[in-house]
Homo-oligomer: A and B are copies of this chain.
Amino acid sequence: MEKSCIVEQFNRYVSLNEDECALLDALEREPKEFSAGEVLRMEGDPALHFYTLRSGWGYASRALADGERQVLDIFLPGQIMGLRDVGSELALSTITVLTDSVACPFPEPRLTDIFEKSPRLTALFFSAMAQEESILIERIINISRRDAAERLAHFIVEMKMRLHEDADEFELPMNQSIIGDALGLSSVHVSRTLKCLRDQNLVCVEDNRVRIMDLEGLTAFAQFNAKYLGRESRWVRRADKHSRPAA
């Protein structure tokens, strides 16, 4: 089996020894395919699993009383989906896949295994959760303090950064309605505002593709500060006794 996605993800921050890799690989023993739009878990269902996303994109959402939907997280390959619900009786959010994807359902009890067997991996999971929170917080700031254009700009730069995408062009498999539901905007206004960003020669979003024309300008316009994404966990580095040299 190729090196598991989550190992690769965690290896961004720290090198893992073989035991740790083995523990993590055990998370991905049963990859399952999902096709675009498929729901992995509904809100209200018992939260028996979380999932590592090996390929494809996903999102977590909540349905609101008036039929609206709030998108809470966007999941990229290598991320853990549904970690936050694991401790609680019932899932608070629905997890759906945006593209055809491969994800590995992971029974929740094994997380306590990890707590018991590897404090270092525990710290990594803790870190992953903290990272998730940082993104949520940035979204709160984005939604409550920036106008539509800045919000979209910020969102696009965040996606580029989280994808570790060097090129100025990349896929964004979300339609304007989902983007709106993530940023608290109507799809109509998303359309209008993307046009503005195009007209200002900052970024062009079309046909599920993003083409950044002026990254510097866009970043400045969005007041984007990448700090919240970097998470060189001190914990993990410090605990890094058995590691091989970084890749």
Chain A residues packing against B (C-beta within 8 Å):
62, 64-65, 68, 70, 72, 84-90, 92-93, 108-109, 111-112, 115-116, 119, 122-123, 125-127, 129-130, 132-134, 136-137, 139-141, 143-145, 183-184, 223, 227-228, 230-236, 238-239
Q: How far is the CA of A244 from the CA of B157 in the complex (A)?
A: 51
Total copies of the chain: 2
Quote the shortest CB–CB distance from A140 to chain B (angstroms): 6
Which one of B68, B92, B145, B236 lies within 8 Å of A145 (CB-CB)?
Answer: B68
Residue in B64, B119, B122, B129 whose CB lies within 8 Å of A141:
B64
Cβ of B141 and Cβ of A84 under 8 Å apart?
no
A150 CB to nearest B CB, Å? 10
Q: Closest Cβ of chain B: how far from A104's Cβ, in Å? A: 20
Q: What is the CA–CA distance of A136 and B227 in the complex, to the nearest angstrom?
A: 19
A119 partner, pick from B92, B115, B227, beta carbons under 8 A: B115
With contact pairs A129-B130, A144-B143 given, residues A233 and B72 touching in the complex (Cβ less than 8 Å): no
Q: What's the minimum C-beta distance from A242 to chain B, rounded to whole angstroms?
A: 15
- Residues from chain B with a CB closer than 8 A to the CB of A70 are 140-141, 144-145
**B residues near A123, Cβ cutoff 8 Å:** 87, 112, 115
Which residues of B have CB within 8 Å of A126? 87, 115, 125-126, 129
With a CB–CB cut-off of 8 A, which chain B residues contact A115? 115, 119, 122-123, 126
Q: Known interface pairs A129-B126, A145-B64. Does A88 touch B234 (Cβ–Cβ under 8 Å)?
A: yes
C-alpha spacing A129/B236, complex, angstroms: 18
Closest CB in chain B relative to A5 CB, distance in Å: 21
A34 and B93 CA atoms in complex are apart in Å by 38
Q: A115-B119, A137-B92 are in contact. Are A130 and B86 (CB under 8 A)?
A: yes
Listed A/B pairs (20) with beta-carbon separation below 8 Å: A64-B223, A65-B223, A70-B144, A86-B130, A86-B235, A87-B233, A88-B234, A89-B232, A92-B227, A111-B235, A115-B126, A116-B119, A129-B130, A132-B133, A133-B133, A140-B140, A140-B143, A143-B143, A144-B183, A145-B184
